[in-house]
Amino acid sequence: MAEFTREQKNAIEHKSGNILISASAGSGKTHTMISRLVRLVTQENVDVNQILAVTFTEKSAIDMKEKLKKALSNCTGDKERIYKQIALIPTCDISTLHAFCARLIRAYFFEVGLSPDFSVADESVKKKMQFECIDKTFKEFYQNDEKWFYSFVDRHAVARKDGALKELVLSAYEFCISEQDPFALLDKCQTEYTKENFESLLAQYKKDLVDEVSKLYQDLKVAQLSLEKMGLPKGAEFAKILVFDMEKVLSADSVYVVKSAFSNFALRFNFDRNLTEEQDELKQVVKYCRDKFKKVIERFSKNLCDNPDDEFNQFESVKEHTLCFNKLVKRFDEIYSAEKREENLLDFNDLEHFALKILKNTTD
């Protein structure tokens, strides 16, 4: 195996546990994988139809099968066994993940209560059906005439229309359905509005502020020392004042202290004149730090109430909002799922979930 690198050899010969092969395009990943499959077949007596290899596209799967066939044809050894393995390649599980899932579901459809003649919806069909189902979902809630729903829609309405909210529900659904337990995240969100989590969020918010200001502080401190060495009194003094302001932020007990102390921050820029090119570069650094510091403080402050008690009340009130949102997402899922069953359709997410359920049922 002189043509392989040490890392590629390790990947080919690895026997126990998981291994991750990560490399850029054209670096030989496919060649390495084919060589690994050949080793399994010729040295470990693994049959081709015992291997699952998934690719991103059908074209890649076809290409991998052809390369495996060619590689096995060039092998020496038990020719009868090799020819038998080559004969298995056309029907082996080298395919896209979703093609494998579909085959598994058709074979064990009874495990998940499906009809074996289901169709797989392509992206355009899926989107069309989802838009129809989100309209049905909202129409149902409008007809139920529930106050919470009207309040919720009003909060998210854009120009008195609910289109943006529908898009938000669909986006949240797509995120959830990509998880192994699709709605565990939504359910978890409902339990997150505690005092402890609130304190944790505040601490993280303060850390984010400190991280941003620290970067500016380091650049400004270097500039201040350089200005002092160059004998530029106005620039050095201005940088010194700005350094002091940043230090107050970095040492503040909370973000509320920062908001209160810098509510009207407006440090007038003052600098020496008749500068050299090097001195002018320092001036631009200091000016950038001043402008950026002001923007950072304003951005962090505008998202805060005036005190933590008001902040927590607002934080806690979001729980009801989250419950409302979760109702919409879950009801959409019910309507969309029923529509797919009616049409005997599965989308790609269904393929993943049903395949996983079958695998769990057969291993439990």
pLDDT tens digits for range 1-47: 447 888 888 889 988 888 888 888 878 888 899 999 999 999 999 99
| Position 292 pLDDT exceeds 80 | yes
pTM of the predicted model over 0.85: no
**What is the C-alpha to C-alpha distance for residues 72 and 39, in angstroms, rounded to an integer?**
10
SS3 category, 30: helix
Q: Give, in order, the Cα–Cα distances in Å from 178 to each of 192, 195, 349.
A: 21, 30, 7
Average pLDDT value for residue range 165-183: 94
DSSP state of 158: B
Categorize the per-residue pLDDT at 122 as very low, low, confident or very high, splitting at 50, 70 and 90: very high
**What is the C-alpha to C-alpha distance for residues 130 and 171, in angstroms, rounded to an integer?**
11
| Position 256 pLDDT exceeds 90 | yes
**What is the C-alpha to C-alpha distance for residues 229 and 183, in angstroms, rounded to an integer?**
61
CA-wise closest residue to 224 among 289, 309, 177? 289
**What is the C-alpha to C-alpha distance for residues 108 and 116, in angstroms, rounded to an integer?**
8
Q: State residue 363's pLDDT score.
A: 63
Average per-residue pLDDT for the chain = 93
Tell the residue number behind the tokens 């669909």, with chain if given.
170
Q: State residue 40's pLDDT score.
A: 93
Half-sphere exposure of residue 155: CA atoms within 13 angstroms, side-chain side: 13
CB 328 within 8 A of CB 150: no
CA-wise closest residue to 261 among 237, 236, 297, 220? 297
| Position 364 pLDDT exceeds 70 | no
pLDDT tens-digit readout, 126-137: 999 999 999 999
Average pLDDT value for residue range 226-250: 96
**What is the C-alpha to C-alpha distance for residues 155 and 162, in angstroms, rounded to an integer?**
10
